[in-house]
Amino acid sequence: MSEPRVNELMEKIVSLCKRRGFVFQSSEIYGGINGFWDYGPLGAELKRNVKELWWTSMTRRRDDVVGLEATIIMHPQIWRASGHVDTFSDPMCDCLLTRKRFRADQIELQSGTAYHYTGARDTAAGRAVTEPYAVLLPAGKPPESARKTASEFYRLRGLAQPELEGERMEKVENSQRFNPDNGSLLTEPRPFNLMFKTYVGPVADEDNVAYLRPETAQAIFVQFKNVADTSRQKVPFGIAQMGKAFRNEVTPRNFTFRSREFEQMELEFFIQPDEVVEALCGTVATPSGPGHPGEPQRNWGWQMWHQYWVEERIRFYDAIGLPRTTLEEYWQKPEELAHYARATVDLLFKFPFGTQELEGIAARSDFDLSQHERFSGKSQGVFDEDLRTAWGKLPEERRQELSGRYHDARLKYLLRAGVPAEQAAKDAREDADGLAKGQYMPHVIEPSAGVDRLILALVANAYSETTTTDEKGKTEVRTVMRFHPTVAPVKVGVFPLLKNKPELVAKAREVHGLLRGDMLAFYDEAGAIGRRYARQDEAGTPFCVTIDFDTLGETPALKDTVTIRHRDDGRQERLSIAALKDYLIARVR
């Protein structure tokens, strides 16, 4: 088996995705639309399998997580409370010559000589433009080239025959101020909010502005109370949601990796603040080392829960075919953390274009619920009778200590949130006094994954090529998608050995009918059996079943048996039709 070179791999993946119907460019017949992708028949199945596996492992297999399915458009105030209206932006700049748009922080660093101009004059027409401009040339390029570009710039501003003015040269190192394609000066970076805006109702004015959600998380926070009240869950518990999210990315790139419309799978797992755990359990457990900390315990603090969810998520990826060795854990440095986050671990995957984030697991403190409490004016805290009882039994010194710590954390949040100092002090005191009444604001651990990125990671990880040589010495390179059986779009191919033998076809149809209610089974009778295997290998189908003359009883001992061929090693085994369904179900679910 040969590994394609990294720089070719992405092209091969994109081409396979289109050729086999995994991913198509959105609106392709109209020239496409940048940052939007459609999933074809195989891609839709792959995506559905991945989401189903996430949902099952996150909700149905757990007692402490329930689901939610919220709307994409929500009250615009939610995005003020979450900080998205004010801060969810990327720095953006444009080329002054071509108007091409860049994300200012992603422009590659350039060095060379910058040629600055104060303006230009068209003597014949008696007109001048005083807008300054500059062009960066790499070392060794003649100044004439800068002058040509600058003349073009002033021509675009209305001068037919510009004479450049005030030329000045400057050595520049590691600059992001010039277009890497043509050396032209870029506009100053300016913040660009990534939320897609729309209007609700017939009047398109500021009063009716709404946003397409840029993450699924906020709906979970704003429905926290309803879910807690109706599901009979008690903190610690989680709410899971998957669905579309929209971000008007400045530069969508790397196929589906950074899209403008994508899907997220998010869990908000609500936990007790450490002070509450201590009041209830005496002490709070913290991690004693790396690795999975085991089954959740009542005395876990936020660090244990955080580590638990990092490990749970790694186990999930491992179970669906992205082994631990394909992932990297990146602990964000303190200066990289969002202001509300206590710790964030990014799970990175080695994509063909570089090692990049697949999922983030953030310890978000009590920021989100607190924000929604302030903005909505509705209490988001919880009441816990056990806490009230435990608090009553604590020695006074311990109460002082715990409520002091809780007070300080609340005060810090309130001041950061911009609450005036006097009000913040009053509110923090009230919050701390609430502990005695069994009241507190839950904290949150958030594992947040992108469906599309995961699909891309699974496709990249599954992609492999095999070279076969036939009897005549002719070699052929074939693609085999080595998907884990649980995510593979088609689970089994069903073939009659020959299509012109009605008995074989009838039996193969019967076997296909037997399987299709429980898994995606693909019937194929066209072409030589080797070709049919190759087509299924390319689709990533883990098993192929062939109905031959022995199935019909030519060798009596083999009557009603079929051969199962395994995609990854080409191994074949004989199995009775009666045992086939259970055999496959055990491997593909």
Judged by the rule CB under 6 A, the positions of this chain that interact with ligand GAP are: 215, 217, 247, 249, 258-259, 262, 264, 266, 357-360, 446, 448-450, 452-453
Residues 6+ apart with CB under 8 A from 523: 493, 494, 495, 508, 509, 512
The smaller minimum CB distance to ligand GAP, of residues 96 and 456, is found at: 456
In the complex, the smallest distance separating the C-beta of residue 217 from ligand GAP, rounded to whole angstroms, is 4
In the complex, the smallest distance separating the C-beta of residue 292 from ligand GAP, rounded to whole angstroms, is 21
Cα within 13 Å of Cα(338), Cβ side: 18
In the complex, the smallest distance separating the C-beta of residue 352 from ligand GAP, rounded to whole angstroms, is 16
SS3 label, residue 394: coil
The smaller minimum CB distance to ligand GAP, of residues 260 and 507, is found at: 260
Token match 């244990």: residue? Answer: 304
The smaller minimum CB distance to ligand GAP, of residues 95 and 455, is found at: 455
The smaller minimum CB distance to ligand GAP, of residues 450 and 485, is found at: 450
Cβ(522)–Cβ(536) below 8 Å: yes
In the complex, the smallest distance separating the C-beta of residue 287 from ligand GAP, rounded to whole angstroms, is 23
Question: Rounded CA gap, 424 and 242, in Å?
Answer: 36
In the complex, the smallest distance separating the C-beta of residue 13 from ligand GAP, rounded to whole angstroms, is 16
In the complex, the smallest distance separating the C-beta of residue 159 from ligand GAP, rounded to whole angstroms, is 41
Amino acid at 395: P
In the complex, the smallest distance separating the C-beta of residue 367 from ligand GAP, rounded to whole angstroms, is 12
In the complex, the smallest distance separating the C-beta of residue 37 from ligand GAP, rounded to whole angstroms, is 10
In the complex, the smallest distance separating the C-beta of residue 172 from ligand GAP, rounded to whole angstroms, is 32
In the complex, the smallest distance separating the C-beta of residue 413 from ligand GAP, rounded to whole angstroms, is 18
The smaller minimum CB distance to ligand GAP, of residues 145 and 332, is found at: 332
The smaller minimum CB distance to ligand GAP, of residues 411 and 449, is found at: 449
The smaller minimum CB distance to ligand GAP, of residues 24 and 583, is found at: 24
The smaller minimum CB distance to ligand GAP, of residues 45 and 452, is found at: 452
Cβ(387)–Cβ(280) below 8 Å: yes
The smaller minimum CB distance to ligand GAP, of residues 45 and 446, is found at: 446
Distances (CA, A) of 190 to 104, 253, 531, 558: 9, 20, 55, 73
The smaller minimum CB distance to ligand GAP, of residues 80 and 574, is found at: 80
SS3 label, residue 358: strand
DSSP string, 188-249: PPEEEE-PPEEESSS--SGGGEEEB-S-SHHHHHHTHHHHHHHH---SSEEEEEEEEEE---
In the complex, the smallest distance separating the C-beta of residue 314 from ligand GAP, rounded to whole angstroms, is 14
The smaller minimum CB distance to ligand GAP, of residues 246 and 406, is found at: 246
Angle, CA of 35, 346 and 81, to the nearest 5°: 70
Tokens of 581: 């369904």
Question: Rounded CA gap, 499 and 28, in Å?
Answer: 36
In the complex, the smallest distance separating the C-beta of residue 207 from ligand GAP, rounded to whole angstroms, is 28
Pairing of strands 327-331, 343-351: antiparallel
Q: Which residue is nearest to ligand GAP (CB)?
A: 450
Cβ(121)–Cβ(115) below 8 Å: no
The smaller minimum CB distance to ligand GAP, of residues 47 and 258, is found at: 258
The smaller minimum CB distance to ligand GAP, of residues 277 and 444, is found at: 444
Question: Rounded CA gap, 445 and 299, in Å?
Answer: 16
DSSP H/E element including 403: helix 396-416
SS3 label, residue 64: coil
In the complex, the smallest distance separating the C-beta of residue 259 from ligand GAP, rounded to whole angstroms, is 4
Cβ(119)–Cβ(162) below 8 Å: no
Angle, CA of 257, 261 and 264, to the nearest 5°: 75
Residues 6+ apart with CB under 8 A from 145: 135, 137, 183
Tell which residue, 29, 137, 161, 157, has the closest CA to residue 97.
Answer: 157
Count the Cβ atoms, other than its own, within 10 Å of residue 540.
Answer: 28
In the complex, the smallest distance separating the C-beta of residue 83 from ligand GAP, rounded to whole angstroms, is 12
SS3 label, residue 108: coil
Sheet containing 101-103, strands listed edge to edge, beginning at the edge strand earlier in sequence: 101-103, 89-94, 190-193
The smaller minimum CB distance to ligand GAP, of residues 254 and 376, is found at: 254
Pairing of strands 237-246, 261-271: antiparallel
Question: Rounded CA gap, 365 and 378, in Å?
Answer: 19
